[in-house]
Structure 1
Amino acid sequence: MGERKKENIKPQKSLEAEESIRGSAFDTGRAAIFIARDGRIEFANRATCWIFGYSLDEVVASPLEKFLSREAAAKILRQDFASSRQPGESDSYELMILSKNGREIPVEADVAEINYKGNPATLIILHDGAEQKKLDKELKDGLEKLKKTFGALVEALNKLVEARDPYTGRHQRRVADLVRAIAIEMELDLKVADGLSLAAMIHDVGKIAIPSEILNKPGSLTNCEWGLIKNHVRIGYDLLKDVEFPWPVAEIIYQHHERLDGSGYPRGLKEGEIRIEARILAVADVVEAMSSLRPYRESVGLEAALGEIEKNKGILYDPAVVEACLRLFREKGYELKEDYK
């Protein structure tokens, strides 16, 4: 292709399209934005000039290869692809640009095909790669800090429960460890396992509203007392529903006494209506509760607890969850933790 004359392709400020861009957010924003056609730049905003280190007159009408390596320019223009980029189609790349002083600058480029002045053109938006990595790190650090904050909140709530009822506090800690082990055994995402463990740590937080003489009453409960006990899931849900955890903590707590056949409470949910996290929590809750000593009864033992979930596999409890739990105890040597102090 022969050398094209600058005056034939350089945009004129009198043109309507140019006037609509100059002075707009495209021209005043921090991201470098430019438009190329036939391998040359037809429009560039101020940030483009700043990042390249050239004046506007030096940028507009110049070939892309003045600012990018030949390979990077070919990638942006899709010269090495079997098919061209279609209007509205976009790509993202990590590139190195060449500034006027010869410095290579890492950038992230968003590239799309557009219509500019009635003809097909390529829109390129450059973001400072180093700045983006810094922002990504700050975001990651912020999320980690947020997770620690949520963890501290959950720990505080558990200690509140534990101070009022040591048995429930210990139960929640042991269940939290078991649900995480089951989730990992089922090869669920670690983020799911983390959220589930956190929910399990406070799954009985609603019991702080139940009189302790009912919680620890030896012998049978009256219908009224049993109704109060069952209400702890709703209380827990109401307590946490407005806390914006990164996981559905309140809903997991709300569902952990639901059963596959619809016989659970408080909503009588069935099968697919119950979250997988709540299905795991249901199994772990039963196993820990049955195998542990309570003020009002002796422990029935671990094997009896495992027999309960095995007998009701597919009826009350999710089969995959039950199988994972049984493998942990019977094949992989898992043991309920005894001391968390």
Structure 2
Amino acid sequence: MARRGKKPKGRPISGWVIFDKPKGMGSTEAVSKIKWLYFAQKAGHAGTLDPLASGMLPIALGDATKTVPFVMDGQKTYRFTVSWGAETTTDDTEGPVVNASDRRPSRADIEALLPNYTGEISQVPPAFSAIKIEGERAYDLARAGETVEIAARTVTVHRLAIVEMPDASITTFEAECGKGTYVRAIARDLGRDLGCFGHITELRRVRVGSFDEDDMVTLDELMDAAEEGLEELTPEAAEAGARARITDFTALDEIVLDAATALSDLYEVALTDDQAGRVLSGNPVLLRGRDAPAFCDEAYATGQGRLVAIGSIDQGSFHPKRVFGGRG
């Protein structure tokens, strides 16, 4: 006798919460918090953000998790502050100092080196990073006292500029970079090249892919929205110590961005209701209109403003590869 699959626990909500992660909170902890608040069936983030860093952590709910790879591959923007005069084991404030110098760079000294850190550059990730070495995280090995050797890798830095330099010991930068770039390594290597050493004291991510600062929502804002939907306890229940549950998710759901917002760099195919039905069944549909492309490696289809599928266009027909059935 065939066993029936378990019904997923939670709400089948689909979309993105662009969380402004506070400093000190881990990425996994943040995902768990958002999943709990929304009582979502599933959730995942688009790129780990260090606990000591703050800022944008895009969190996908439900079917939107299928769009996570498109966000992770997107360009990211970081603002980070470097303290000159000391290099640490972790390249931030968490580790002990391993190299120190009384020398301090001028703005001109720093700006003269910035071209060396833009474009495709070779970079050795920090020993305290999430990179896996023979199945183990580098930071776990480093914390255990083992010598961590990570091979250099090629990353892309689209832009690196000084935001402010209040004194000779402190410089704040903004970097626009591709996947896999470690700005802690940029701070470390700049310090070495300048002959003064350096480490990051503040790090904030302000953009990921198509999401920008205006999309971010803080934990306080989420908690306020959740409070609007709390059930009203009877005096007896409150006196007995019962905890109110969220029964109305209206305010929380208004914060969620449609899954399609993660795909703004792709070609959009607008479907009729009939076409959407065919695509949801896994069938291709012929595109009409003189502006419709005949071929496209990656495109997404929407129906009534909602994401229906991700696929490709071949000989004027849209072929679905990933279908989205979740509803907010």
TM-score (norm 1): 0.21
Quick one: higher RCO (CA 8 Å, sep 6+), 1 or 2? 2
Relative to total residues, which structure has the larger strand share, 1 or 2? 2
Relative to total residues, which structure has the larger helix share, 1 or 2? 1
TM-score (norm 2): 0.21
